[in-house]
Structure 1
Amino acid sequence: MNAPIARAARLTLADLIRLGLVGPRTRRLRSALSALGIALGIAALVAVTGISASHQAHLLDRLNRLGSNLITVSPGVDVNQQPVPLPKESVAMLGAVAPVETVSATGATKADIYRNDHVPVTQTNGLSVLSARVGLLETLHGKVRVGRWLDGSTEKLPVVVLGSEAADRLGAAAPGERVWLCGKEIQCSWFSVLGILSPNLLAPEIDSAALTGRPWSAAHLGDDGTPATVYVRTHPARVTDVQAVAGATANPAAPNLVSVSRPSDLLKARAETKTALEGMVLALAGVALVVGGLGIANTMVVGVMERRGEVGLRRALGARPGQIAAQFLVEAVMLGLFGGSTGILLGGAAVHVYAGVKGWPTSTPLTWVIAGPAVAVVIAAVAGLYPAMRAARMSPTEALRSA
């Protein structure tokens, strides 16, 4: 009777996983440090994208509450880079456009504002004094933090409403305090603070301004009635249409010399700049991933050299080169999977803590939560490929002799 032919045993997936865990279990510190590089890279990717997404969600939430249907119309510049004033009738003409819901404007004055009359005239703190119409706050959907807004009676008095930044720079904290308005072509005098506004996301220029009533500004502060900035609140579905005709409506004689913008456009430009900066951070995260991959490759190479006796014994017992290579490759993949999973947890925790401190909604992109471990596994597999092939090429006699 012929003896049965011995066949090489095949390793199942479960066998490969058990073999792949032998190295990490016996060399825990070295394996943990190798996986740490991968974990830091994935954590950086998740943290950067998560914090950016949380910030974006916060801005969109505020923008939705304020309304993104605000259009800003202001003077453009000519070929000599000189501003071209808007016609005095531009506010009324823009208000006559059908989809426009409300319209208001600010005007330039010849005054500067100071904390008191002892401050040098050159130290304006970057603040401006603007004339304001009573309906400005409604058009901007602004809010008064303390005090009150201008009305039909106070707009004719020497009072000011301060933007949030203006109040901080002047040290004004409550209504009733006095500030000093002065200029070369106007008579200097004390003004009483009527109110202080909350920060306005859609019109940040108002935050650093002191607003006076239009009648008083025209009579005493040199306001000639020309709009400095016109704010147009439109029907939400018709913003683009109004934006297209705003220039020609505000200044029919020179529509190309009118600047028309939307706060959402400014936010888009800001987001593009922010994306460019994120690219630099993502590049650093990529470097961390490469360093982590090199750490895994180094660990696997050293592991192959230290485990030559084990490799030789397995080869002598009938293990094929492919099975040896698969064992070390699985070890590398396990390290990458562990590092990637840890990185997801670290990055998610960083996003949660940062967003909580800032008071933002937490938003972690699902793409990186899913792709993070996959990227880590791919990097680890590439890093472990050479050590795995090196182990597979060892001959049993050479490995046992050098063990």
Structure 2
Amino acid sequence: MTRAGAGRRRSTRPTRVERPRLDPRDLWTEALAGVLARPVRSALTTLGTVLGITTLVITIGVASTAGNQIVGRFDALTATSVTVTVPRTLPGQDDTGPLVDWSGTGAVRRLAGVESVAALADSATTNSVQVRSNDVTAPGDTSSQTLGVVATSAGLPDAVRGAMTAGRFFDTGDIARRDQVAVLGDQAAELLGIRRVEDAPAIFFRGQSYTVVGILGGIRRERQLSTAVLLPPTTAADRLGLRDVTRVLVNTSLGAARQVARQAPIALAPGHEDALTVVAPPDLSKSRDGVQNDVNGLFLVLGLVSLVVGAIGIANVTLVTVMERVGEIGLRRALGASRRQVAGQFLLESTTIGLLGGVIGTSLGIAVVVCVAVVKDWTPVLDLRLALGAPLAGALVGLLAGLYPSLRAARMEPADALRAPS
């Protein structure tokens, strides 16, 4: 075969037709025009996504705000209370002397974050003592009451968050002089019929008399002390044998309790800190997370259901739009538009509807969260990731909802689409 013949033979081959490329900006313009061509239908279709995204934003926003508020109003008494329990002897040893000295509270008081501290001593033999308000026994006399007797340091009123309702609490002078003075809890004073201390009333138990110098009321911590007789530690040691500290009550500033709980045993009993038992408040961040998870779990399903409803609405309307625009699809395919371009146009339309619903729903949700916080006098807590992610979630819903209608539009043959009734 001659070279000229080969050239003629190659020239008879059909030339490849290049399909026109659709600029992404043109595709976006066509999709936006398709959405705006039927504004009422598009608005109603977007409503489902708006409701779903709004519900999700409100759920997460209100849960975060409420959780933060609950932690902010967390019971300060529980959140700042540390209790150290002291055993009478070391495990495996009969008598090693007191593990914690009464002066050890001074070392704890110097720890950062400690606001008040007090030591207590009690025993099984002093938990139920017959206490009388006079030393005269008469037939039918009811002045005797069974009360607990506790030795405490001078800082007890602050440590139990109480206040003196009458008289005063014993001080370091009373402790140093080993004075036979006592302070009554408010309920103990009521049981004994003592309401005033100006005339120095006395109480009697175990053959000893004690002058009542004050009444302690409003006890918020260790409330059993409201029915107890409180004695200076030196007096309790001499008269009742209460020498060893059994508990140390510590109050801290908010947020310092866990650190103080780690340091207090070392300050009280260096070298034997492991023998002490410390009760510290729970971590507030866990409480907050628990509240938020409970609220989220309660309402998240509602938001997801709304999103599913919105996705079905978008899919339905997009499919109806495809069926209404069969002639347009056929004409585009006849003019050279590829299946991918046709599918991309309808997919972009459904994604645009979902994105608009996401933006509107996010805005409404944030507004509702702020309004709820203002009405409740709370501080609104809004996550930036939520504000940015919610519109994208709406766009994703629209994208997934438009997959089937877009694929159906792309599968149409140009000839069949042009012959279809308009």
TM-score by length of 1: 0.62
**Is 1:213 matched with 2:230?**
yes
Which of 156, 161, 171 in structure 1 is aligned with 2:181?
156
Shift of 1:110: 0.8
Instruction: Name the SS of the counterpart of 1:73 in structure 2.
Output: strand
Three-state SS of the structure 2 residue aligned to 1:226 is coil
Q: Which residue, 341, 350, 356 being the options, matches 2:363? A: 341
User: In 2 relative to 1, CA 302–235 (structure 1 residues): closer, same or farther, beyond 3 Å?
Assistant: closer
Task: Compute the TM-score of the two structures, normalised by the length of structure 2.
Answer: 0.60
CA distance in 2, matches of 1:143, 1:25: 67
Is the CA contact (8 Å cut-off) linking 1:325 and 1:389 kept in structure 2? yes
Unpaired segments of 5 or more residues in structure 1? Answer: 177-184, 200-204
Partner of 1:44: 59
Distance 2:219 2:331 in 1: 79
User: Which residue pairs with 1:182 in the alignment?
Assistant: none
Q: Distance in 2 between matches of 1:364 and 1:47?
A: 8
1:174-323 alignment runs, 5 A limit:
194-197=215-218, 205-206=221-222, 209-210=225-226, 212-215=229-232, 218=236, 224-231=242-249, 246-248=264-266, 250-251=268-269, 254-260=272-278, 266-268=281-283, 270-276=284-290, 278-316=292-330, 318=332, 320-323=342-345
Kept in 2, the 8 Å contact 1:326–1:388? The answer is no
Does structure 1 retain, via aligned residues, the 8 Å contact 2:121–2:150? Answer: yes
- Change in 2 beyond 3 A, CA 1:20/1:227: farther
Matches of 1:294 and 1:33, distance apart in 2: 8
**Superimposed CA distance per residue, residues 324-370 of structure 1 (whole angstroms, 9 cap, x where no aligned partner):** 2211221122223222332222333334444x2xxxx5141333553
Shift of 1:72: 3.8
Deviation string 1:234-255 (CA, Å, 9 cap, x unpaired) is 999x999976564355346843
Q: CA deviation at 1:12?
A: 6.7
Do the aligned partners of 1:340 and 1:376 also contact (CA within 8 Å) in 2?
Answer: no
**One-letter identity of the residue aligned with 1:389:** S
Mean CA deviation greater in 295-304 or 208-217? 208-217
Does the 8 Å CA contact 2:119/2:153 hold for their aligned counterparts? yes
Q: Which amino acid letter does the alignment assign opposite residue 134 of structure 1? A: A
1:76 positional shift: 6.0
- Give the Cα separation in 1 of the matches to 2:327 and 2:207: 98
Structure 2, unpaired ranges of 5+: 1-18, 130-140, 197-205
Quick one: distance in 1 between partners of 2:149 and 2:285?
30
Q: State how far apart, in whole Å, the 2-side matches of 1:155 and 1:367 are.
A: 65
Q: Larger Cα Rg: Structure 1 or Structure 2? A: 2
Q: Is contact 2:68-2:288 (8 Å) kept?
A: no
* Cα shift readout 1:369-402 (whole Å, capped 9, x = no counterpart): 5345345335424543424534542636459847
1:69-90 deviation digits (Å, cap 9, x = unpaired):
x76422369999xxx9993752
The yes-or-no answer on 1:384 pairing with 2:401 is yes
Alignment of 1:101-180 (within 5 A): 103-108=117-122, 110-111=127-128, 131-138=151-158, 140=159, 142=161, 144=163, 150-152=169-171, 156-157=181-182, 159-161=184-186
Q: 1:371 to 1:28 in 2, by over 3 A?
A: closer
